[in-house]
Amino acid sequence: MPVTLSHEAPDFERRFDALLDMKRESSADVDATVAGIIEDVATRGLDAVIELTRRFDRWEIDEASLAFTEAEIDAAIATVPAAEMAALELAAERITAYHARQLPEDDMWEDAAGVTLGWRWTPVDAAGLYVPGGLASYPSSVLMNAIPAQVAGVRRIEICAPTPDGRFNPLVLAAARLGGASRVWRIGGAQAIAAMAYGAGPIRPVDKITGPGNAYVAAAKRRVFGRVGIDMIAGPSEILVIADAANDPDWVATDLLSQAEHDESAQSILITTDAAFGAEVARAVDRLLQRLERTAIAGASWRDFGAVVVARDLTQAAELANRIAPEHLELCVANPEHLMGEIRHAGAIFLGRHTPEAIGDYVGGPNHVLPTARSARFSSGLSVLDYMKRTTIARVSPRGLAAIGPAAETLARSESLEAHALSVRCRLDAQEAAE
């Protein structure tokens, strides 16, 4: 049974806090294994990668068959049904258009003191994207990771996608090509992360690694962080729907289940101002669960982590949403723009009754890699900025140094950093001598 909770309950605050504190992830302790794999790849390179792929993916590769050839990719794409290819192309186009608007601008100006200041954004040289094999091999995630890198101007985009027993998803290769990948390597797991961080045979090291993966991949990303950049480590998916009584309960129920079907640890929460509507949605969820393909997964998620919360009014609903800081937030209310003004923390907001979250997973345009587990309080979804970095720029003229140099000297001496002070003083002295 999902949690059912009304603002009228005397222990509402305590029970809402308990909902926030729910532990949804069992962290398998794979760290020692992963440390060994990374060490092995860092030391022995390609030989280690080949052996580990034989062991974990039951697949024999050598240097020549390590990456898909262009011909193999062509052949795979030729098997993709036309409707799926067209849908993937529409998605790629829309994701590209959205992310192109995120490209940051450089700036440079001179201030009143005669100091030229600015910054410049540059892409990372090379990005590595991890694509899981098996069930979680989502072509949409390939687009969501590769396109921001492509838009950022990353010249080399390496993809690692394991092909256990030789099997692979042709749509993943189609997405890789649409996303501008330089190569797709048939390797996975911690060994793929290590190969991208340290290099292995023909796989040259990258500067930033992104993309979802299992516990081994996540642990490997944590371990190579510092040597390369990584994106966030995503937890199980979540949705919060704020809905008034004017919604169709079936629509809201499918939205809740669209997160629940991802993972038994996913969480779907409805906040409504109408207790009767909440009960109707819960009944609709139960009905839908009887016919859903992934009913076992979605049912377990809804039973263990689902919740229907009845709020006093929309203002209280917004306050509760800010405490949840959800990955996905649907505002299915009459005036969603107004309600959005009260929301401070959410990864992505979907406005109005005709914007199911699934639109954002595929073809909306914004990224579907979003902060989970309340981290929307302090972090953002994946963007073009994740594949770029900013260099700050300063140029001080002799006049500028005369204006601001003495203050730097004073502060350096107050911090007992004499050489700092001297580096300013020697230039000021030379100016004064020249006058």
Binding to a copy of itself by CB under 8 A, coded x per residue (else -) over 122-141, reads: x-xx---------x--xxx-
Among the listed ranges 36-44, 57-65, 189-197, 259-267, the one in contact with a copy of itself (CB under 8 A) is 259-267
Answer for which of 41, 161, 356, 384 binds a copy of itself (CB under 8 A) is 356
Does residue 27 interact with a copy of itself by CB under 8 A?
no
State the Cα angle at 63 between 59 and 64, rounded to 5°: 90
| Number of residues near a copy of itself (by CB under 8 A) | 123
| Interacting span for a copy of itself (CB under 8 A) from 11-19, 61-69, 287-295, 306-314 | 287-295
Residues between 64 and 103 with contacts to a copy of itself, criterion CB under 8 A: 83-84, 86-88, 90-91, 94, 97-98, 101-102
Indicate which single residue of 4, 33, 116, 214 sits in contact with a copy of itself (rule: CB under 8 A).
116
Q: Is 251 in the site for a copy of itself (CB under 8 A)?
A: yes
State the Rg of the chain over Cα. Answer: 26
Cα 400 from Cα 402, distance rounded (Å): 5
- State yes or no: is 327 an active-site residue: yes
- Strand bridging mode 115-123 / 388-396: antiparallel
Choice from 36, 111, 246, 312 touching a copy of itself (CB under 8 A): 111
Output 60 or 125, the one with its CB closest to a copy of itself. 125
Should residue 171 be labelled a site residue for a copy of itself when binding is judged by CB under 8 A?
yes
Site for a copy of itself contains 213 (CB under 8 A): no
The active-site residue, picked from 327, 330, 357, 368, is 327
The answer to whether residues 20 and 305 touch, using CB atoms and an 8 Å cutoff, is no
What is the rounded distance in angstroms from the CA atom of residue 310 to the CA atom of residue 319?
13
Q: Determine which residue in the list 179, 318, 336, 384 makes contact with a copy of itself, applying CB under 8 A.
A: 336
Q: Using the rule CB under 8 A, is 248 a contact of a copy of itself?
A: yes
Among 40, 57, 158, 361, binds a copy of itself (CB under 8 A): 361
**Closest approach of Cβ 352 to a copy of itself, in Å?**
5
CB 326 within 8 A of CB 241: no
Q: Which of 173, 298, 308, 311 binds a copy of itself (CB under 8 A)?
A: 298
Which residue among 280, 328, 330, 357 is the active-site one? 328
Annotated catalytic sites, by residue? 327-328
